[in-house]
Structure 1
Amino acid sequence: MNGRPEAPVAPVEAYEPPYSVAVFTTVRTQEQSDYSETDARMEDLVKDVPGFLGMDHAQTPGGLGITVGYFRDADALTKWRTNAEHRAAQRGGQAEWYQSYTLHVAKVARSHGFMRAQTLRSPTAG
């Protein structure tokens, strides 16, 4: 969809708490000029923030987008929030790309995960 190769579908792993999360929920406008390029740049840029742990994305068929960013601590999240390129992208979002959005920031107190074991199939199995 965004021109980038598809990564395997898996949630960000459960880290040892405490850590911080930013939940960004959006509804986009019809005007999406330069959005894909800016989104890709932000995804690359956030990976350079010390303490960035990962990001999950989801999009509903109705247009609601959810991005959850995981950060080791509040300082890492502050570094991301105050990054100059990220601030410029935020202004672009308010001016053009988002009809509405919410941002929720929280400290994770409990975290766990599950992954089903993969079974190998024989090439001759039917």
Structure 2
Amino acid sequence: MTQTIVAGLEPPYYTAVFTSVRPDHPEGYGETLDRMKELVQDVPGFLGYESARTPGGVGITVAYFRDLEALNAWRDHAEHRAAKKHGREHWYERYCVHIGRVEQSYGFERDDRDD
């Protein structure tokens, strides 16, 4: 699970929202996840990601990409495709991917500094 949120991106950009159901600690998942995190960093146009998982196995990862070309490059990456295939065969009970174009983005951060 990520402890920070992606902020300060200038729209437009694209999101890939990956929602899944899987057991909490499937064999080999952590190593594959670490490898995917490493590989996606090298995709030109990758902007970051956020991820969370419930104890019951529902997980959501939101990845941010500058454009559809970057998102498609990640979708089509050979190792990523192999990991997706393995995940369908061994880890995931089900998943869904939603692709969206972000037109507007804003946020809030509490400022607890003593001035």
TM-score past 0.5 threshold: yes
Whole-Å Cα distance in 2 between the matches of residues 31 and 69 of structure 1? Answer: 22
Q: How many residues align?
A: 114
CA RMSD of aligned residues (A): 1.8
Ranges of 4+ aligned residues in structure 1 off by more than 6 Å: none
Whole-Å Cα distance in 2 between the matches of residues 57 and 92 of structure 1? Answer: 20
C-alpha deviations, 1:89-120, integer Å up to 9, x for none?
00011000100000000100110111112426
Structure 2 residues not aligned, in runs of 5+ = none
Larger Rg: 1
Per the alignment, residue 21 of structure 1 pairs with 15
SS at match of 1:77: helix
Per the alignment, residue 11 of structure 1 pairs with 5
Cα displacement (A) at 1:31: 7.7
- TM norm structure 2: 0.91
Matched, 1:95 2:89: yes
Describe how 1:1-126 pairs up with structure 2 within 5 A: 9-29=3-23, 32-119=26-113
Whole-Å Cα distance in 2 between the matches of residues 60 and 76 of structure 1? Answer: 29
- TM norm structure 1: 0.84
* Percent sequence identity over aligned pairs: 52
Structure 1 residues not aligned, in runs of 5+ = 2-6, 121-126
Whole-Å Cα distance in 2 between the matches of residues 31 and 41 of structure 1? Answer: 16
